[in-house]
């Protein structure tokens, strides 16, 4: 029996369309091989949506996403839209779709691939064997807390305000995802906060400790975010699963990503309580190299693998994609961001074609 899935594609801006094109080809081949059927539909988000409709997240896009089985997003943003008012910025579209789909849990793996160990800016001994999963809360915290905005005080001075807020239920549901994620890994969970200064972090810590009673098999530790940033570059191997709030997770997941040599390799999954999930690379739209065939499509391709694994429960197809990516690296092909001595430099399209050949061989 053929499993059929409707997939909304949000290619967005910058390198988005290039890396999405490669990924769709990969999915089509895997569909044939695994007897799956994908019904792809494209929708607008970010800068392209602003240009076409004046809105970074048109309501048709939200509707289409809601009605599909899964959403695959590439990247949003670019210089062109950087000076628009906040409601009209591409980033607002991204935050909007995360909120609209209730995607409170963002899983960002940072795994060192032996093939890319020389691409890391850190010493080989430090990064060899690193395998971290950052579980970032995605629909709360300072990104969404009220009040927010730029207000004018009585004296005529402007004040910028954002509010870091977490309620118990928001902490509990992300903590649960994190404990369950850790259970499937090395069973070590480090909760990152700033409980020495922030009340919101104190509540976070209290609730995570409470939740740990239900997961006696998981070893729970706590770390302040400044120390966590330092430890990630000092001794990243101490981490297995990290759980943290929206802003800290944004920052730490970029740092963790870079341990692996390139943010161009890292996928992510954003999940809510029910379908559909949204799958996107950790990197952004890289407007500086957009349209030049220089982008690394592998994080996007691996995001499609995460979609198959976590969103559609098709692990065989996910494994096929992941093994093919490793094989391409084994063969020595590299885009610029992961290039190292003795390897063969290729562009976005070329690495995509090689990937298809490997998949079909």
- Residues of this chain that bind Mg ion (CB under 5 A): 250
Q: Is 94 in the site for ligand IPM (CB under 6 A)?
A: yes
Catalytic status, residue 226: yes
Number of residue whose CB is nearest ligand IPM: 91
- Sign of the CA dihedral running 357, 14, 66, 59: negative
Q: Which of these ranges, 30-38, 89-97, 121-129, 326-334, lies near ligand IPM under the rule CB under 6 A? A: 89-97
Q: Which does 265 bind (CB under 5 to 8 A by kind): ligand IPM, Mg ion, none?
A: none
Taking only Cα atoms into account, the Rg of the chain, rounded to an integer number of angstroms, comes to 20
226-265 binders of ligand IPM (CB under 6 A): 250
Closest by CA to 247, choosing from 109, 110, 145, is: 145
Closest by CA to 146, choosing from 168, 167, 161, is: 161
* 332 CB-side CA count, 13 A: 4
Give the DSSP H or E segment for 29.
Answer: helix 16-34
Q: Which does 42 bind (CB under 5 to 8 A by kind): ligand IPM, Mg ion, none?
A: none
CB of residue 245 to ligand IPM, shortest distance in Å: 12
Helices (H) and strands (E) in the chain, counts: 12, 14
Q: Tokens for 152?
A: 């004018």
CB of residue 283 to Mg ion, shortest distance in Å: 9
Pick the catalytic residue: 193, 194, 215, 333? 194
Catalytic status, residue 13: no
Is there a contact between 225 and 172 (Cβ–Cβ < 8 Å)? no
CB of residue 107 to ligand IPM, shortest distance in Å: 12
* 111: region left, alpha or beta (phi > 0 left; psi from -120 to 50 alpha): beta
Q: What angle do CA 292, 298, 304 make, to 5 degrees?
A: 120
Kindly tell me which of 5 and 144 has the beta carbon lying closer to ligand IPM. 144
For 356, the 3-state DSSP assignment is helix
Catalytic status, residue 254: yes
Give the DSSP H or E segment for 53.
Answer: helix 47-53
Q: Which does 94 bind (CB under 5 to 8 A by kind): Mg ion, ligand IPM, none?
A: ligand IPM
Kindly tell me which of 94 and 351 has the beta carbon lying closer to ligand IPM. 94
CB of residue 63 to Mg ion, shortest distance in Å: 26
Kindly tell me which of 156 and 160 has the beta carbon lying closer to ligand IPM. 160
Catalytic status, residue 194: yes
Q: Tokens for 242?
A: 């990290």
Strand partners, 111: 131
CA distances (Å), origin 161, targets 89, 137, 143, 250, 314: 18, 21, 11, 19, 44
Q: Which of these ranges, 40-48, 91-99, 206-214, 327-335, lies near ligand IPM under the rule CB under 6 A? A: 91-99
Pick the catalytic residue: 172, 187, 254, 327? 254
Catalytic status, residue 143: yes
Strand partners, 219: 188
CB of residue 253 to Mg ion, shortest distance in Å: 7
Q: Which does 228 bind (CB under 5 to 8 A by kind): Mg ion, ligand IPM, none?
A: none
Residues that are catalytic:
143, 194, 226, 250, 254
Q: Name the site residues for ligand IPM (rule: CB under 6 A).
A: 91, 94-95, 250
């Amino acid at each position: 029996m053929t499993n059929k899935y409707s997939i909304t594609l949000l290619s967005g801006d910058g390198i988005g369309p290039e890396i999405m094109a490669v990924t769709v080809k990969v999915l089509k081949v895997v569909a044939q091989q695994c007897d799956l059927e994908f019904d792809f539909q494209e929708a607008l988000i970010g800068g392209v949506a602003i240009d076409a409709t004046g809105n970074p997240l048109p309501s048709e896009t939200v509707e289409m996403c809601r009605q599909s089985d899964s959403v695959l997003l590439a990247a949003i943003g670019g210089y062109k839209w950087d000076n628009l008012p906040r409601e009209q910025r591409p980033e607002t579209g991204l935050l909007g779709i995360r909120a609209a789909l209730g995607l409170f849990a963002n899983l960002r793996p940072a795994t060192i691939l032996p093939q890319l160990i020389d691409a890391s800016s850190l010493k080989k001994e430090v990064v060899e064997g690193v395998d971290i999963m950052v579980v970032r809360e995605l629909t709360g915290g300072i990104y969404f807390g009220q009040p927010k905005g730029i207000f004018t005080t009585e004296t005529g001075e402007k004040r910028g305000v954002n509010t870091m807020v977490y309620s118990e239920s928001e902490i509990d549901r992300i903590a649960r995802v994190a404990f369950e994620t850790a259970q499937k890994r090395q069973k070590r969970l480090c909760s990152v906060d700033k409980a020495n200064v922030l009340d919101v972090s104190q509540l976070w810590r209290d609730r995570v400790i409470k939740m740990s009673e239900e997961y006696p098999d998981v070893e729970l530790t706590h770390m302040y975010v400044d120390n966590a940033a330092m430890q990630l570059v000092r001794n990243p191997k101490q981490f297995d699963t990290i759980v943290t709030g929206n802003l800290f997770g944004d920052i730490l997941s970029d740092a963790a990503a870079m341990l692996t040599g390139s943010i161009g390799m890292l996928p992510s999954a954003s999940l809510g309580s029910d379908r559909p999930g949204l799958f996107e690379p950790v990197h952004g739209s890289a407007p500086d190299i957009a349209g030049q065939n220089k982008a690394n499509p592998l994080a996007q391709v691996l995001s499609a693998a995460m979609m198959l694994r976590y969103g559609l429960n098709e692990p065989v197809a996910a494994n096929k994609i992941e093994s093919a990516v490793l094989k391409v690296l084994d063969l020595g092909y590299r885009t610029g961001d992961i290039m190292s001595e003795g390897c063969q430099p290729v562009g976005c399209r070329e690495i995509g074609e090689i990937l298809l050949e490997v998949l079909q061989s």
